[in-house]
Amino acid sequence: MFLKSLIISTPTKVIREINFKMGINLIVDESTEEHITGNSVGKTTVLKLIDFCLGANSKVIYEDPEDKKKIYTLVKDFLVEEEVLITLTLTENLSDDDAKKIIIERNFITRGKKIIRRINGKDYLETNQNKEKEFELKLTELLFPKHIASKPTLRQIISHNIRYKDLSLNNTLKTLDRYTSDVEYETLYLFLLNCDFSSGNQKQEILQKIKQENTFKNRLEKNQTKSTYEASLALIDSKIANLNKRKKTFNTNENFEKDLESLNRLKYAINLLSSDISKLTMRKDLIEETQEELLSSQSSIDLKQLEMIYKQAKRNIPTLQKSFENMVAYHNQMIKEKTLYITKELPSLLRALENKKHELQQMLKEENQLTNVLAKSDSFEALEELIIELNEEYKKKGEYESIIRQLEEVENNLKEFNSDLEQIDNELFSDDFETIVKRQQLKFNKHFSNISKQLYNEEYALKYDIETNREGQKLYKFSAFNLNFSSGKKQGEITCFDIAYTLFADEENIDCMHFLLNDKKELMHDNQLVKIAELVNQQNIQFVASILSDKLPQKLNKEEYFIVKLSEDKKLFRIENF
């Protein structure tokens, strides 16, 4: 897909219409005042608006990237109060007016009937927590019709196409947020290289379960480790035995000893049962928390309405093969399966809790009866201190035994999950699969090294290492050969990678975006930018870059390369005119 146009409008007028072309597309900042130049006129905002239409949060437009708590109130209020609409049109062929198009419309209103979140004339205005998910799923279906798994997400796939944030401007491969795990990057780049790995989702699910079990284990071992509990339990058993020997030296009536022993056993059982209930409740709460998180990501949509729209779309686009219903059904089915997998033990846990609570009530009633009987005995006062001490030891014994059992259960679960992970890794790190990775890596590097040779007379290349992380889990870790010697040099490497990937994807018949958005091109040497322009003008690629006019190379200082010119008097949104 190519960028065709970006329109900024209100219900009454068009503020700006930016039309894109093949090759180099420059957003030029012509500001002259030093304190304004490169700031606040909107050259980066053009890139952000395209990103916004492709699913980014609206905050990227009016939030300070360096201080998330700082909001540009003037801009935000203008966008909301004037009901500003952003319309992005994508096309399969810039030179063919009849080519397939995707028209995306979004505004900045978050509540009420005036919200607009529309794709090809269809609204996606879900009011639940997944309101953004349906929108993103539809975009994924249209832009990457062959991709049916939930990972990598659309936002992850196109992250290297849209570079205006500091992280993506300074890193060739790490284009996501700083909290993204290496496993997610592994899934992303195996996908981008067209290495068919169907268990990528399952691997991330298993790692999520391992994380959950480790969290539970850490809670159980918050005060002591399992070995410490086991050692302490042995000492408690010894102490209980000694206390029982002392108890036998007391002179009691015929029934006192029997009743006292029954009471001790009962108190031990009560403490043990209470501890079991506590731990079962803790596990139930963890499962329900995970279930709630998963259910919150489930999609819902009016399938009858979708069917009518789909039939209309089928008449207009006879080649339409995939339905949005399939995508939503697949997503919901996957969420349902995840939920069923995680909550499969919940019914048995609830039954166990109910039974144990009922059993506890019966025990407490029996304890009360025995206590009343023993309280009437003349020997009870003499044994009271010893019994209290004995009961405390039985209580500890029950708690420690319950914790040890819970830890053993966690260890068994971790063993099972790690076994499942090992099976996946056996496929992922097999000789056959690695051969596929190497083959795709070699194909990509032919483009990567060729592009970098043309632009910089250097040869960049993509490599991978099979590494083991701190948890002992293996993964493919991808990186570029060259070190980051300077900002300009790094930007050159990044640009070579992005152009090379587009050519590689076309060669491999992989769905991809044919536009690259780049900010701060003034950091790049003039000759580098000129060479990039010459290259993309020859290839099937759009290169959209924002740049200061006083940093613009002479060879590129031509109207034919400009798509919009901004300055302190001609800011992007023209707020001063309202």
pLDDT tens for each residue of 362-376:
989 988 888 887 766
Highest mean pLDDT, choosing among 4-8, 120-124, 289-293: 4-8
Residue 68 has pLDDT above 80, yes or no: no
Q: Provide the pLDDT for residue 486.
A: 41
Q: Provide the pLDDT for residue 35.
A: 44
CA dihedral 390, 392, 393, 399 (to 10 degrees): 150
Q: Provide the pLDDT for residue 578.
A: 80
How would residue 429 be classed by pLDDT, with cut points 50, 70 and 90? confident
Any idea what DSSP says for residue 318?
T
Q: Residue 281: name the closest of 341, 217, 350 by CA.
A: 350
Q: What is the mean pLDDT of residues 537-562?
A: 90
- Cβ 440 vs Cβ 464: under 8 Å: no
Q: Provide the pLDDT for residue 488.
A: 43
Beta strands in 408-490 (DSSP E): 462-468, 474-480
Residue 14 has pLDDT above 90, yes or no: yes
How would residue 328 be classed by pLDDT, with cut points 50, 70 and 90? low
How would residue 49 be classed by pLDDT, with cut points 50, 70 and 90? very high
Q: Residue 429: name the closest of 463, 481, 471, 467 by CA.
A: 467
Highest mean pLDDT, choosing among 80-94, 404-418, 456-470: 80-94
Q: Residue 76: name the closest of 57, 89, 103 by CA.
A: 57
The interaxial angle of helices 487-508 and 526-538, nearest 10 deg, is: 10
**H-helix or E-strand spanning residue 284:** helix 256-295
Residue 127 has pLDDT above 70, yes or no: no
Between residues 500 and 68, which one has the greater pLDDT? Answer: 500
- Cβ 499 vs Cβ 493: under 8 Å: no
How would residue 331 be classed by pLDDT, with cut points 50, 70 and 90? low
**Per-residue b or e along 77-112, where b marks 16 or more CB atoms closer than 10 Å to that residue's CB:** ebbbebebbbbbbbbeebeeeeeeebbbbbbbbeee
Q: How far, in Å, CA of 507 to CA of 516, rounded?
A: 18
Q: Provide the pLDDT for residue 154.
A: 93
Pick from 331-345, 370-384, 558-572: least confident: 370-384
Q: Provide the pLDDT for residue 300.
A: 54
218-251: per-residue pLDDT in tens? Answer: 888 888 888 998 899 999 999 998 888 877 776 5
Q: Provide the pLDDT for residue 511.
A: 93
Mean pLDDT, the chain, rounded, equals 84
Q: Provide the pLDDT for residue 484.
A: 42
Residue 113 has pLDDT above 80, yes or no: yes
Give the list of residues 6+ apart from residue 440 with CB closer than 8 angstroms, or none: 193, 194, 195, 508
How would residue 426 be classed by pLDDT, with cut points 50, 70 and 90? confident
**H-helix or E-strand spanning residue 458:** none
Q: Note every long-range contact of 350-359, with CB atoms under 8 Å and residues 24 or more positions apart, other chains counting.
A: 350/284, 352/280, 353/277, 353/280, 353/281, 353/284, 356/273, 356/276, 356/277, 356/280, 357/277, 359/273
**Per-residue b or e along 248-270, where b marks 16 or more CB atoms closer than 10 Å to that residue's CB:** eeeebeeebeebbeebbebbbbb
Q: How far, in Å, CA of 271 to CA of 562, rounded?
A: 78
How would residue 70 be classed by pLDDT, with cut points 50, 70 and 90? confident
Determine the 3-state secondary structure of 319 from DSSP: coil
Tell me how many degrees the CA angle 343-348-349 measures, rounded to the nearest 5: 75
Q: Provide the pLDDT for residue 66.
A: 79
Amino acid identity, residue 93?
N
Any idea what DSSP says for residue 541?
-
Determine the 3-state secondary structure of 7 from DSSP: strand
- Cβ 196 vs Cβ 411: under 8 Å: no
Determine the 3-state secondary structure of 417 from DSSP: helix
Q: What is the mean pLDDT of residues 371-388?
A: 70
Q: Provide the pLDDT for residue 290.
A: 82
Q: What is the mean pLDDT of residues 544-561?
A: 89
User: Per-domain residue ranges for the chain?
Assistant: 1-172+511-578, 212-428
Ordered strands of the 117-119 beta sheet: 14-19, 2-9, 85-91, 101-107, 117-119, 122-123
Pairing of strands 117-119, 101-107: antiparallel
Q: What is the mean pLDDT of residues 82-96?
A: 95
Q: What is the mean pLDDT of residues 328-339?
A: 68
| Residue 447, phi then psi, degrees to nearest 5 | -75, -45
172-185: per-residue pLDDT in tens? Answer: 999 998 888 888 89
Q: What is the mean pLDDT of residues 47-64?
A: 93
Q: What is the mean pLDDT of residues 429-443?
A: 90
CA–chain centroid gap for 10, Å, is: 34
148-168: per-residue pLDDT in tens? Answer: 888 889 999 999 999 999 888
Give the list of residues 6+ apart from residue 574 with CB closer than 8 angstroms, or none: 15, 16
Which residues make beta-bridge pairs with 94?
none
Q: How far, in Å, CA of 225 to CA of 223, rounded?
A: 7
Proportion of the chain in helix, strand, coil states, percent, rounded to 5: 60, 15, 30
How would residue 141 be classed by pLDDT, with cut points 50, 70 and 90? very high
CATH fold group of domain 1-172+511-578 = Rossmann fold (3.40.50)
Q: What percent of the chain has pLDDT over 90?
A: 34
Q: What is the mean pLDDT of residues 327-351?
A: 73
Between residues 513 and 264, which one has the greater pLDDT? Answer: 513
Q: How far, in Å, CA of 484 to CA of 265, rounded?
A: 70
| Residue 69, phi then psi, degrees to nearest 5 | -80, -15
Q: Which two tokens stand for residue 277?
A: 């209930």
Beta strands in 404-527 (DSSP E): 462-468, 474-480, 515-518
